[in-house]
Chain A
């Protein structure tokens, strides 16, 4: 068993290294974090070590956005069109920056409209269809109303047999919302990432597939809070993954994550942040490997709640029906999951600041886990149902 996993990891690393070599740098960085985390879990699974390594090293939201924008500006395609449209009524401003680098076989159509009645506002819609490579980045903003925000969208596909996408945005100086839907088939690689940041709060959702057919609908909204959500379903000949990430202005963050290898992934995820961060997901995966987790972390207090379930199906299929949530604030961090799993290796685990609970089963299992921690208590519990 140990040799099988070692061999698997070897191929995984080798293949992904070549793959990363051809990726744009900003995607490479983000993906490298995912890869690191992904492989880390396999190492953990293989060794059954008790001391789980803290996974999911993420950039703080604002830096992540900044790095993304800067790198997009520096490494944007050699053949690309940038469009800028901004409007102001003297007291507030809204705008959109659109960067398109698409193959000839892809049709792109968009409409933006700026209105000045009752204050400035802007709406935007866009669609694309065809086949081939597409690299589209959009930055939308609102400012001047006392709650400046930025919404960022990035879509990247390589070698899609078909791609269909649409999206719309609504912007005012104090609040913005955007939704994007994209479906790709036969793509070598696709990534669709939508995020929003406002007043130090950051929320993002991310859909990713390699050698996969992916369909995802994402949305983000800023205003009283920053929220992001997505519904993704994918069939991966290599793998498909989805993530939600939210971080508040104090640095508290949650990560919601699911991945399927050589199988299907159907997930609904949502994250939100105001003075705290929270996220949830409902995920069904069926493949060679199925994995989902929820994590909450308060770096100032070192409050930590982290749990997940990873299913290996080397001999048979790996199936996971996972519903989980995580939340973190100034006083505590919490995570919860309830899942049904089928596979050769069923490994749920839960970890708080001071405790780790884990089980290993084979066959089918319905389990429930909690992890929580605050300044007076912490705990991690797994219940076999």
Chain B
């Protein structure tokens, strides 16, 4: 048998996209006075996607013409999933060697619920409050294993969920074995925009979500592991970046969650001091029975 024909694969692939119907919306608030604005665009679908597969073989040169023209041994693979800001990106490239991998992806999303927008400006005030409620859940579960021994392999992935992200890059490895599990869940999105006649005062976008990224690896090249978590204003609150060069065994589990809580704070609905307390630090709002009914305004 021609050695170039020893490349064998066993691939089981079951991909299914069913009932897909795209849905998108755009919401924006412009303040004419100073030109400040807030805009958001979202897109999702009633969709499910399932993929399972495995591959095992030798990455080796093959002859593609009778004259003996030879293709260099190479393996590449990629995946891009992006629905309603729930993302998974994978990139793999490997040169001659032995390679085996198993992968499982399961995605479900729906847009059954209405997207609701409310606006309110009370009498006696110029403060506008806009609230947006979207209930378009997305669930993405993905697992992957890679085992490689050969000239070189680069393997990178990044899981993102509404501003949160976790990813790994394994570069220039001659030997790599890793297992990775990702569980991304987007429950709903709520946005609150407060504006006056003069400007947009604040914008908060709460995507109620959870992100779990679990990985275990043995690598011989560069291992770069990163995570990032953002708050409702899009500000990065947690960030990490680790870089390893050499031979390492690494295990890591990252869990991130942001939950929109619409409960009214007791200090909000029952103001202690009606007037004259403009200098109160919000952090010092009185709580508890004694504090509520026995506060003193300066």
Contact = CB atoms under 8 A, between A and B. Distances in A.
Interface stretch (A106-114, A213-221, A231-239): A106-114
Given A77-B32, A88-B25, A89-B22, A110 B118 contact: yes
A192 to B, nearest CB: 20
A90 B26 contact: no
A116 B110 CA distance: 10
B23 interface: yes
A84 B120 CA distance: 15
A81 B23 CA distance: 27
B94 interface: no
Given A86-B25, A116-B23, A105 B116 contact: no
A112 B117 contact: yes
Interface string A89-110: 1100001001011101111111
Given A113-B117, A116-B111, A79 B197 contact: yes
A32 interface: no
B83 to A, nearest CB: 14
Nearest to B33: A79
A83 B119 contact: yes
A129 B121 CA distance: 11
Instruction: Give the residue among A81, A98, A110, A117 with the most B Cβ atoms within 10 A.
Output: A81
B92 to A, nearest CB: 32
B130 A83 contact: yes
A331 interface: no
Chain B interface helix/strand/loop/mixed: strand
Contacts of A106: 121, 123
Contacts of A107: 121-123
B120 A109 contact: yes
Contacts of B21: 89-90, 116
B13 interface: no
A88 B24 contact: yes
A13 interface: no
Contacts of B112: 116-117
Contacts of B295: none
A76 interface: yes
Given A105-B124, A107-B123, A129-B123, A84 B115 contact: no
B29 A82 contact: yes
Nearest to A94: B25
A108 B114 contact: no
Contacts of A84: 26-30, 39
For the complex of A and B, 5 pairs with smallest distance between CB atoms: A79-B197, A116-B23, A107-B123, A84-B28, A82-B30
Interface of B: 21-33, 39, 111-112, 114-126, 128, 130, 195, 197-198
5 contacts: A79-B32, A79-B33, A83-B130, A90-B22, A113-B117
